[in-house]
A and B are shown apart, each in its own frame.
Chain A
Amino acid sequence: MALRAPVVLLAAFLLPPQGAQNLGTDLNGHPILELAQAHAKAVVLFFTASDCPISNRYIPEIERLDREFTPQGVAFWWVYPNPSDTAEVIRQHQEQFNFRGQIVLDTAQQITRMAHATITPEAALFVPASSGLREVYLGRIDNRYVALGQERPAATTHDLESAIRAALNRMPVPKAGGPVVGCSIVPLNAS
C-alpha cells in the first residue's frame, strides 16, 4: 500500500477556520474542532472497529506507540468510521479492551475520506504544513499480517513506528512495505 497523494490538507491545525470541516464527534457527541494542538509535531489516526478481530489485536501495539510517542508531541486518535460503532458501543469496547485514548466517531466518514482509509486497522500519519496537516503515511501498522490467514508470529517491520520516527526527525517518511489486512470500512449506505 503506497503513500497516497503527497499533500492532503486536513482541517484544523492551530485555530479552526470559519466553516471548518466536520471532524466527527467525541463520545459525548461534542464536535471535534481540531486534531492537533499548536505544539503537536505529528498526528496519528488509527482507524478501528469494535467488531474487527485484527483491529482489536492491534490495540496493545497502538497503546505502546501512544505511550512512546505522545510525550514526544504526537497526537493519537482512535477513529471509528463504521456506522454501527455508536458512542455506547465504543464505550463498551473501551471497557472490554481496557484502553484509553482520544476517540473520534467519524459519523460522516469525512476523516476517513480525507485520509483515504478503507480498512481497519489502518493508520494515517499527518505532519503540520503551512495551511493545515499533510498526510505523510497511510497504511499498515506493521507486517504481522501479510494476507488473510497469513500471519507472522511477530512483526519484523514496524511500518507505522518507522514513519513516526522519520516524521519526528524530519526525514523522508518510508512507504508501507505491504498491504493492510483487516476488515473493510463499512460504507455509510450499507448499514
Chain B
Amino acid sequence: MNSSRHRLKALHRIASAPSRSAVLFGVMLIATISVATIAASAPAQHGAPAASVPVTWNHDIAPIVYSNCSVCHHPGGGGPFSLLSFHDAVRRGPQILEATGSRYMPPWLPASGFGDFAGARRLSDEQIALIRRWVESGMPEGDLAAPAPPRFDTTWQLGKPDLVLTVERPFALAAGGADVFRNFIFQYPLSQTHFIRAVQILPSVPSVVHHANILIDRTASFRRLHPNDWQDGIPGMELQVDAGNTFDPDSHFLFWKPDTPALEEPESMPWRLDPGNDLVLNMHLKPSGKPENITAQIGLYFSAAPAVEHPMLLQLEDDRDLDIPAGAHNFVVEDELTLPIDVKVLGVYPHAHYLGRELAGWAILPNHQKKWLIRIPSWDIDRQSVYRYREPMMLPHGTVLHMRYVYDNSADNIHNPNSPPIRVRAGNRSVDEMAHFWLQVLPVNTPRDSPDPRLLLERAWMEHRVKRGPDDVIARYNLAAAEAGLGHYDRAAVEYRQVLSATPGDARALNSLGAALESAGDLGKAREAFQQAMDRAPESCDAEFNLAGLQLKLSRFAEAEAHLRAVLQRCPDDASAHSALGVALTGKGDSSAAQAEFERALAIDSSDFTALYHLGEDAIASGALDRAIDLLQRGSAQRPDDLDTRERLAMALAQSGRADDALTQLYAAEKIAPADASVHSLLAQLLASSGALAGAIDEQTRALHLQPKDADGWNNLGVLEARAGRTAAARADFQHALDLAPDHVQARANLARLHQQ
C-alpha cells in the first residue's frame, strides 16, 4: 500500500512576479490646456448639469472623488495624499483636472470594450467634463450639505486573520534611486494543511508599494537557493520556483494593489497551503524621498472547506523571440495556444517590462468568432494589474488563444531603462524584457472518468512550448511529467530520455525516468535509472527513496530498510521516508518499530498519507476504533479517491456500530470505482448485517458480475440467497463455487447443509 510513492520532481514553473508602480501625482507646467474650450466643445452629456448650472464640490464632485479616488487617497492608503475633503480637493484641483483629463487617474490600462472586467476604474466622459467645469469655475464648494467622506480601515479589512506571517527582517528602502524589486520569503509555520479563502498584505508603508504579488513555493526552493541571505529578501523582478514532486499547478493570482487590499477567492476555490510551503512576496517599491523600513505582513484567512473547483494558470509567452535591437520602435512578439478542453477564463494578467507598448490578448473560437481578452494600448509597468472578468468567459475546446505584444526600444520610449538604447533580451532584471500573458482558467464540462483536466492543459501547453523551442528543457520535462500524470508512462520515458540527451546525467531527469519506467513495469531499467541518479547526486534523497520504494514493491524489505535509513541520515525530516521505513519494518514483521516510524512521520507532517493509513490499520487491529476512524478520515481527506482507505474506514465505522456512516463511505467508494468488485462485496456484507438482504444480494451479484471467478464470492452469494429463503438459487451458487474451486470447504459444507434441509 503506497510503498512505492514516486517523486516526480520538477514541474519547473516560471512564475512571473509582477511589478506595478506608484501613483505619481503632479501636474505639467505646460499642460494648461484651455479647459473652457474643451468643455464648450464637448457634446452635451445626458444627465450633466446644463452649462448655466454651477458645478459644485458638494453636489457634483465629491461623489466622484469619494467613489473613485479616496479608496487610495486616504491616510494609510496607497495614494500619496488624501482626497477626503473639499480642502484636499482644492489643494489638488489642477492635478485632479490634469490626471483625470489625461486618464492617468484613476489607474486603469485596458481599453474600453476589450474585455468586461470587474472593478473597472474608468471615469465616464461626463464625469471628466464635470471636473473640468468645476476647476475652471474656481472650484466652488456649493451650498448643499457636503456628503460624508468614506471611511477606510487601514489594518485587516476582514477582521483578525487566522494566521499572520511577518517578514523575517525589516528591509531598508533607500530615500532615492531607481525602483526596487524585492522578494521576501515567509515560511508557513503550521504542521497541517489549510485552504485559504482570503489574503491581505499589510505592506507597512503602502505609499511606497506599487504592487505586490505572492507566489507559493511548494518546495521552499527559493529559500534553499539563498540559504544565507533569504531573510533579507532577494532582489529581482521575477523568480523561478520548483513546483515539487506532484502535479500541482499554480492556480490563483495572488496580486495586491493599493485599492484592493484584501483578496477574497470564490467559496469553491480557496487555495492550499501545506506544511513546508513558503510564500514569496514580490514587491515593487518606489523610493519616496525618505528612507523607509518595510516590515510587510501577510494575513491569511482559512476556509472551513477544501477547494471543490480547481483553476489553473496558463501562460502564453514569447521570451524566446525577445531580442530587440536598439532603437526598434515596433518590435512584435506573438504566441498562441489551442485549448484541449472547455474552460472558463476567470482573469488575465499581462506582463512586460519597460519597453512594452501595446499588449493584446484574444481568443478565436472554433466557429471563427473573435473574443477579445484584453487590449492595453499604452502599457505602463507601474500600473500593471490582474484583470478579472465580471462574468467568466466560456471558451470551448479548440479555441485558439493569442497574444501580441509590441515593444518600443527607441529613445522615444521614456520608460526605456537604457540610455542610449541597447539591444535587449529576455531576463528578470528591470533592464531586460518579458512577454508573458497569464490566464486563470477553470476547466468545465469535464467528462466522467476523464483524467485531471489540468493535466490535459499542461500537456497542450508544454507540447506547444516544445514545438516552438525543441531545446526548451524545462518545457520538455514538464511535458514528460504531464504524460506520466496521465498514465502514459512510455511516452513520459521517451520525453525524459530527450531531456537527458540535452542534459546528460541530470539527476532529476534520471530519477523521474526511473519512476516512469517503474510505472511502465520495467523494474530493471527503473532500478538502473535510480542508481544512476544516486551516483550523479549522492547528496539528494529522492532517487534513493524511489529505489527503496521499488524494493518495497518487490518485498525486499531489508534492502529497502537499508536505503531508507541512508536517506534519513541525509534528510532526517523527510516524513515520507519515515513512513516508507515504517512500511519496510511492517514487511519485516517489526510492527512496534514500524509504528514508531509512522508516528515520527506524522509528527513532521500531520497529513502524511502513508502514516495515517498504516496507523489507522493498526488501530483497527488493536480495537482502538475511535482512533482508527480519526486517522482514516484524515487519510481519506488527503486522498479522497483512495478505495482502500475508504474501505478500511467503513470497516472501522461498522465495527463501532455506525452502520450508516460506513454505508456512506462505501457508496462513495462505489461512485469512485463502480467496477471495483471488492467495494460491492463489502457493501453486500454491510447491508446483510443490517438486514437489507435484497440490497445485499444485488451488490454481491454485481461483485460477481465483475469478478465471475471468485469462488468465495459465489459462496457468499449462496449464503445470502439461503438466508432470503431462495434455496434453489443458493444451491446453484454453492455449486458454482465448487465448480471453480472443487476443494472449497465452506461451499461444500453449505451445500451439504442445504441438502439436509
Q: Taking beta carbons and an 8 Å cutoff, which residues of A are in contact with B?
A: 1, 51-61, 84, 96-98, 118-119, 122, 145-154, 156, 179-184, 186, 190-191
Q: Is B595 an interface residue, CB under 8 A from the partner?
A: no
Q: In the complex, how many residue pairs between chain A and chain B have their CB atoms under 8 Å apart?
A: 121
CB A14 to nearest CB in B, in angstroms, measures 33
Q: Give the nearest-CB partner of B175 in chain A.
A: A60
A150 to B178, CA, bound (A): 14
Enumerate chain A residues within 8 angstroms of B287, measured Cβ to Cβ. 57, 60
Q: Are B415 and A96 in contact (CB under 8 A)?
A: no
Please give the residue numbers on chain B whose beta carbons come within 8 Å of chain A beta carbons, in ascending order.
21-22, 24-31, 80-81, 90-95, 98-99, 102, 104-105, 174-179, 207, 287-291, 354, 380, 382-383, 414-417, 419, 430
Q: Are A119 and B29 in contact (CB under 8 A)?
A: yes
Q: Are B27 and A181 in contact (CB under 8 A)?
A: yes
Contact among A52, A97, A118, A149 with B29 in the assembled complex (CB-CB below 8 Å):
A118
For B31, list chain A residues within 8 Å (CB).
147-148, 179
B721 CB, nearest partner CB in chain A, Å: 83
Closest 4 CB pairs of A and B: A60-B176, A56-B289, A53-B80, A149-B104
Label chain B's interface by main secondary structure: loop
Do A61 and B414 form a contact, CB below 8 Å, given A51-B81, A179-B30?
no
Contact assessment for B28 and A59 in the assembled complex, using a CB-CB cutoff below 8 Å: no
Query: B27 to A56, Cβ gap below 8 A?
Result: no
The residue that A184 contacts in the complex, of B27, B99, B102, B291, with Cβ under 8 A, is: B27
Q: What are 20 A-B contacts defined by CB distance under 8 Å?
A: A53-B288, A57-B287, A57-B288, A59-B175, A60-B177, A84-B91, A98-B290, A98-B291, A148-B25, A148-B102, A152-B415, A152-B416, A153-B179, A153-B417, A153-B430, A154-B419, A156-B419, A179-B28, A179-B31, A183-B95
Question: Is A97 a contact partner of B290 (Cβ separation < 8 A)?
Answer: yes
Measured CA separation A115–B599 after assembly (Å): 79
B92 touches A183 (CB 8 A): yes
CB of A181 within 8 A of CB of B354, answer no
Residues from chain B with a CB closer than 8 A to the CB of A97 are 175, 289-290
* Chain B residues near A51 (CB-CB < 8 A): 81, 91
Are A1 and B30 in contact, CB atoms less than 8 angstroms apart? yes
Instruction: Indicate if the CB atoms of A148 and B176 lie closer than 8 Å.
Output: no
- List, in ascending order, chain A residues with CB within 8 A of B104's CB: 148-149
A40 to B177, CA, bound (A): 30
Bound-state Cα–Cα, A60 to B176, Å: 6
Given the known inter-chain contacts A97-B290, A98-B291, A184-B27, please indicate yes or no for A59 contacting B99, CB distance below 8 A. no
A54, A148, A183 pick with most chain B CB within 10 angstroms: A148
Which residue of chain B has its CB nearest to the CB of A120?
B26
Contact B289 A59 (CB under 8 A): yes
If the complex has contacts A56-B289, A57-B288, are A146 and B414 also in contact, measured as CB distance less than 8 A?
yes
Q: What are the residues of chain B within 8 A of A154 when measuring CB–CB? A: 178, 417, 419
Residue with the greatest number of chain A CB neighbours at <10 A, chosen from B99, B287, B289: B289
B26 near A57 (CB under 8 angstroms)? no
**Chain A residues closer than 8 Å to B177, beta-carbon distance:** 60
Instruction: Establish whether residues B99 and A61, one from each chain, have CB atoms under 8 Å apart when the complex forms.
Output: no
Chain B residues with CB below 8 A from A147, complex form: 28, 31, 102
For residue A84, give the distance in angstroms from its CB to the closest CB of chain B.
Answer: 8
Identify which of A1, A118, A148, A153 contacts B26 (C-beta below 8 A): A148
Q: How far is the CA of A181 from the CA of B178 in the complex (A)?
A: 18
B27 to chain A, nearest CB (A): 6
CA distance A191 to B28 in the complex (A): 21
Report whether B26 and A182 are in contact in the complex, using a CB–CB cutoff of 8 Å: yes
Question: Is the Cβ of B289 less than 8 Å from the Cβ of A60?
Answer: yes
**Is there contact, CB below 8 Å, between A119 and B27?**
yes
Report the nearest A residue to B287, measured CB to CB.
A57
Name which residue of chain B comes closest to A155, CB basis.
B419
Q: How far is the CB of B729 from chain A (nearest CB, A)?
A: 85
Whether B99 and A152, one on each chain, are in contact in the complex, defined by CB atoms closer than 8 angstroms, is: no
Chain B residue nearest to A54 in the complex (CB): B26
Residue of chain A at shortest CB distance from B92: A183
Given contacts A119-B26, A148-B27, A191-B91, 7 further A-B contacts (CB under 8 A): A53-B81, A98-B290, A148-B102, A153-B415, A180-B29, A183-B27, A184-B27
Contact, CB under 8 Å: B29 / A151: no
Q: Is the CB of B99 within 8 A of A148?
A: yes
CA distance A61 to B93 in the complex (A): 27
Please state if B98 and A148 are interface contacts (CB–CB under 8 Å). yes
Q: Give CA–CA (A151, B26) in the complex, Å.
A: 11
Closest to B82 in A: A51
Nearest B residue to A82 via CB reads B91
Is there contact, CB below 8 Å, between A53 and B29?
A: no
